[in-house]
Structure 1
């Protein structure tokens, strides 16, 4: 059904009403007619359809045929772009041929130094939906679900391949699988949509648990703190170092991690955006048929390039491909708490009236500009949740084709000519670059010193720690020493004696690298003196796991005495007490203390996990259901069914799951919008995503499959409820024949 058929019904309905409503329907029809065609624009013409700040301009760096369907990239020290091409993504509305190995990793270069890429080399091809890349040492990490590979580089050609992780992605559809591969300041590689981090140590690869973060893309600020988001959130992030505080697998959330940094979610497109998945629902589009709130937010970038000017430094930019725009947010520290807000009122940093402008990834760069990866295509919603409404929109404006476009742009000050910036592989020059104003250059200089094992710089790096003229230079010298395996306790002590709390915090973050059985007691004594510092107390609490048990216990008691009602310290202590939560609760002098309340929540989670052994039997009973849960449900609701912060509420111990069959089936087939109550707690936006899409229109899943997954979740974890049959699904379909819009709990309650 094409869009004008939907409108005909709306106009007939509105004509029976009066005045303002009739005008709105007429206006909507006019707007639809205005955007009835979605022309394919060449890259230079597409720039003329973009609006940004008057003092800035958009420049073209690369476009088809040099690059096609780009989704991620990184720069090397020569200023070249290594680009991931996800060529197989959604060739049509049913995803025909997504499993064809046509993805590539390509190297784009500006050989004549005119600011525009003119050379393309294919480094790797025959990949299935590749999604992330990271350069380090003599090779490159490549994420090709479900595996993570390290491929050595031999004169721009692939050499030896090493399988780093055969379960890099487990379950989830293309929109909900790990990605990012951000090589952070602490020398670990972090991921979005994942709770794993990686590090190369000689010929071995290390893999550790960390906090679960985000959905697509992540970035770091000058202090190495991570920022991320999900499709309906603007900016989420960490207050504290990324490598700490994830020691208790039973702890659902740790205060100071996965925090809402910018709660504003409103967007302001400059064109009608009817081609969004739930555009038919009330409130998704405004009166001018423009997207109201984020629905495809991704790739937050902390801009650290300096070229745009001081006003933009440390701003967090967010891509929103559904709205054809890039948002700008202002960030500010208040102690260790980080908060932010939108930079503008009712406008965006960059917006286009070209429907095919799809910014999906943002990057800092060696030249200091802000780079934008544009898939440039009509379809960006994956088939798993594609609604009939959006299928109709795609058909009406022929958004399926073309499939061979893609652009990379950069934002620079107006009338600025940018040429590639190269970093010479010279130890002394790299040492100087640790002080550079451009955050990308500082990061790369640190990485190159470590990758090339320039141990001859150790004395100079240690000397650099003593200079307080540049906090950035100090921090990078610290982590470069850590990366070289040359960091000493004396280096940490030196920084802890300085007055700058941010330098002291960096020293504490690096402390695990130097602690040994021999110096553990001494370190604990020094940390004890820092507990009176309100800014540093949470950092001290986060370090309890690396201290000798006796000293950690004494320090913990001291922290509880002073900070039992501080959620950041309390959660850090709980993180240190995996398996000892009940004993810790018994030792509490007062059960009304905040730490006691948070301990009770963890103990409740532990109790609900006791029945998880039943899951294996359920997998045999409902094999398709178990697969469907893993690929569709767990990405938002968690593998343990207890929900994921900022995404979705629990399925475990949920009356909606175990209650009346028809209500659950209706939600899964058609979706759910608005608040929902689970276990006596009301979940609503912005705490979670305000909408759950249905899968009833997805031809990939039969009614038998859907019956299996619902039976699976109704009897998984602590749930126990009668199974759902294929006929039950069919009966609900018949009762709601022709329905497209999502249900509300109030509707289903009737």
Structure 2
């Protein structure tokens, strides 16, 4: 099951037309034109005073989905060539994916050479430059491949289960190297780091779906298919220590709640026949394939566009612009830049922007997969299959484009980054965030310790962004000392200094300085409720200090009804929840307070975790069901069945799962539209529909019966099994139905 309101895709393409002045929408029945790259640009509208320029097109690049620039200004591009060759996914497992290096040798802003670095890959999805090699995500594995003068060298398996389970639309991706020197991912709760020649894997918060980036403070920004902009309020490496918390407030926050989109033309999506998915003119009304978010950290486009969040929507052939503003000292909110139009939009239905980046010159880069089919076969409806046939959208499969957005009339060169130590030090103060990030990475990877004195001096100049990169560069070099951090924490200057100091403390705390750090943290926090949250997130690093529990107790007293402080404290309570509850009750505190309610929820989840042995037995009883759950359902409903914020509601304890099996079968076979309500609770943050899997020809009725039988007996669920005959009967009863069910319809079933 998958509330991915995967319309995910809906990634795809039927196209509608309506007669001027009339409400009726008729489906176009002519094949869609295939445009060359220059013609495709002519079909785009971009915000003035900007223009779109071609950087690369087929045959130089084919089916690009992700990329990363190196210090030479070259683009390392991931080509997912075998993705959905037709509506059945025929040949999707072919070994024809590649990592290619594109270069601009004549410095005109357009790539002109192509070198294949790796080939024979199956559906590669992400690349990240690290040290003398590259990380490459090829499900289910994550590889580190050494770079021997642009030829692949030794391969090291970093993670055999990087993308274990899930389908192509729901597997980890991104490999984003953040300011804190860790590599984060979308659709994942893992992070990675190469330290002293050894790869480290650590748990973090589960984030996003496709694409991930950061702001100038190193806070992560992401989204999911039907959510415009999500992100973190706090440093990415904190607060993920308690797996019994379903979510820690301050992470996975809805930053831009407005999900409306404004395509240039009539759009077709996987569930275009569902009410309100399209407007009266046949245009998509809200995000169904949001992906590839980018915080534009470059001044090239102009001050008005700097620190805006841009989001790709390939289903609507457009790119959204969002403007951020501080909501409080640490909270961030935002709004769409325009009403009724987009930053960039095209009426070419094969324009499929799937990822956005800043480049070495500061331009905004657009990775365009340029194809008809993007919706994966797992959720592909008969409606969309028919549109693909009618519009001849399967072919061609050999296209792909990379564009950049620059000021109109300009043609900035793709500037390399000078790698001499002094040049890298100077680049930490560059206006372009890409250049600052890459300079930091090269200093850390090259272990350029000769720069340590200059970096420490730079840390004393706390203006702009250079000091912040100096802080984390020193952390990456293992050269940061408490003596450099203390002035930031004790400064009366800004909240930004203090929170960055708190964020870096886990990297520098040790037995010798723990007492001094603890006292400084307690003093800095004082009665400041905002710093209290950041300090509480820091507590794991200080817990060995005898007074740490006293500070935690004091913070809990201060923040009983503050959800951010409550969750920050509870992130330290792994396997201590019961003792914390006993202490709380002993103090006769309010059991309706946020802190207590979240604590009780964590206790409940800890108890549910003990049911894992039960699920292992069920996996033996329903092997195909367990496999399908891992590949189709858990990516949105969570491996524990408790749902994922803004993605999908819980299956564990759900009345739809444990109740009338006809309703559950109807949902899975035909989908569920409208508001989501489970066991009396409404989930307003879930804005999309659950797609059906009944049209998936790869799933037999016996498969679906096993899947539902498995789910109905997992975790706390204790409902009876479902048979192949049961599934067949529901199909027959609803023969010819395409429309998803609503809860009202299901409630009327007798």
Cα pair distance change 1:21/1:365, threshold 3 Å: closer
Does the residue aligned with 1:399 lie in a helix, a strand or coil? coil
Cα pair distance change 1:680/1:605, threshold 3 Å: farther
Does the residue aligned with 1:113 lie in a helix, a strand or coil? coil
Does the residue aligned with 2:392 lie in a helix, a strand or coil? coil
More off after superposition, 470-479 vs 68-77: 470-479
| Corresponding position of 1:571 | 567
- Equivalent residues in 2 for 1:489-500 (5 A)? 489-498=482-491, 499-500=493-494
Q: Which of 690, 699, 702 is matched with 1:701 structurally? A: 699
2:233 aligned with 1:239 = yes
More off after superposition, 255-264 vs 459-468: 459-468
Cα pair distance change 1:7/1:523, threshold 3 Å: closer
Counterpart CA distance in 1 for 2:132 and 2:676 is 50
CA distances 1:164-183 after superposition (whole Å, capped 9, x unpaired):
00000111000000000000
2:668 aligned with 1:674 = no
CA distances 1:38-61 after superposition (whole Å, capped 9, x unpaired):
100000000000001120000000
CA distances 1:467-488 after superposition (whole Å, capped 9, x unpaired):
13x3300100000000000000
Q: Which of 202, 209, 212 is matched with 1:215 structurally? A: 209
- Structure 2 stretches lacking a partner, 5+ long: 1-13
What is the root-mean-square deviation in Å for CA atoms of aligned residues?
Answer: 1.7
Q: Which of 179, 190, 200 is matched with 2:194 structurally? A: 200
| Corresponding position of 2:4 | none
Counterpart CA distance in 2 for 1:597 and 1:659 is 27
TM-score by length of 2: 0.95
| Corresponding position of 1:380 | 374
- Equivalent residues in 2 for 1:521-600 (5 A)? 521-531=515-525, 532-547=527-542, 548-588=544-584, 589=587, 590=589, 591-600=591-600
Counterpart CA distance in 1 for 2:205 and 2:15 is 46
Does the residue aligned with 2:319 lie in a helix, a strand or coil? strand
- Equivalent residues in 2 for 1:354-365 (5 A)? 354-365=348-359
2:289 aligned with 1:293 = no
Counterpart CA distance in 2 for 1:721 and 1:451 is 54
Counterpart CA distance in 2 for 1:294 and 1:319 is 10
Question: 1:471, 1:503 within 8 Å by CA — same for their partners in 2?
Answer: no
Counterpart CA distance in 2 for 1:622 and 1:129 is 28
- Equivalent residues in 2 for 1:402-551 (5 A)? 402-468=396-462, 470-498=463-491, 499-531=493-525, 532-547=527-542, 548-551=544-547
More off after superposition, 667-676 vs 397-406: 667-676
Q: CA deviation at 1:21?
A: 14
Does the residue aligned with 2:657 lie in a helix, a strand or coil? helix
Does the residue aligned with 1:121 lie in a helix, a strand or coil? strand
Aligned length: 727
Q: Which of 63, 68, 85 is matched with 1:91 structurally? A: 85
2:328 aligned with 1:330 = no
| Corresponding position of 1:317 | 310
Cα pair distance change 1:737/1:7, threshold 3 Å: farther
Q: CA deviation at 1:648?
A: 0.3
Q: CA deviation at 1:22?
A: 11
| Corresponding position of 2:713 | 715
Counterpart CA distance in 1 for 2:422 and 2:146 is 26
Counterpart CA distance in 1 for 2:592 and 2:280 is 49
Counterpart CA distance in 1 for 2:524 and 2:566 is 17
Q: CA deviation at 1:610?
A: 3.1
2:732 aligned with 1:734 = yes
Counterpart CA distance in 2 for 1:582 and 1:390 is 51
Counterpart CA distance in 2 for 1:99 and 1:689 is 32
| Corresponding position of 1:151 | 145
2:229 aligned with 1:251 = no
Counterpart CA distance in 1 for 2:631 and 2:396 is 28
Counterpart CA distance in 1 for 2:648 and 2:15 is 33
Q: CA deviation at 1:23?
A: 4.3
Q: CA deviation at 1:342?
A: 0.3
| Corresponding position of 2:275 | 282
Q: Which of 98, 103, 121 is matched with 1:109 structurally? A: 103
Counterpart CA distance in 2 for 1:313 and 1:540 is 30
2:344 aligned with 1:350 = yes
| Corresponding position of 1:615 | 615
Q: CA deviation at 1:513?
A: 1.1
Counterpart CA distance in 1 for 2:84 and 2:41 is 25
Question: 2:577, 2:603 within 8 Å by CA — same for their partners in 1?
Answer: yes
Counterpart CA distance in 1 for 2:743 and 2:397 is 39
| Corresponding position of 1:308 | 301
Counterpart CA distance in 1 for 2:37 and 2:516 is 62
Q: CA deviation at 1:519?
A: 1.6
| Corresponding position of 2:657 | 657
| Corresponding position of 1:3 | none
TM-score by length of 1: 0.95
- Structure with higher RCO (Cα < 8 A, 6+ apart): 2
Question: 1:267, 1:292 within 8 Å by CA — same for their partners in 2?
Answer: yes
Q: CA deviation at 1:594?
A: 1.9
- Equivalent residues in 2 for 1:121-136 (5 A)? 121-136=115-130
Counterpart CA distance in 1 for 2:452 and 2:600 is 48
Counterpart CA distance in 1 for 2:224 and 2:373 is 19
Does the residue aligned with 1:187 lie in a helix, a strand or coil? coil
| Corresponding position of 1:76 | 70
Does the residue aligned with 1:700 lie in a helix, a strand or coil? coil
Does the residue aligned with 1:344 lie in a helix, a strand or coil? coil
Does the residue aligned with 1:106 lie in a helix, a strand or coil? strand
Question: 2:514, 2:545 within 8 Å by CA — same for their partners in 1?
Answer: no
Question: 2:318, 2:342 within 8 Å by CA — same for their partners in 1?
Answer: yes
Question: 2:290, 2:312 within 8 Å by CA — same for their partners in 1?
Answer: yes
Q: CA deviation at 1:611?
A: 2.5
Question: 2:101, 2:115 within 8 Å by CA — same for their partners in 1?
Answer: yes
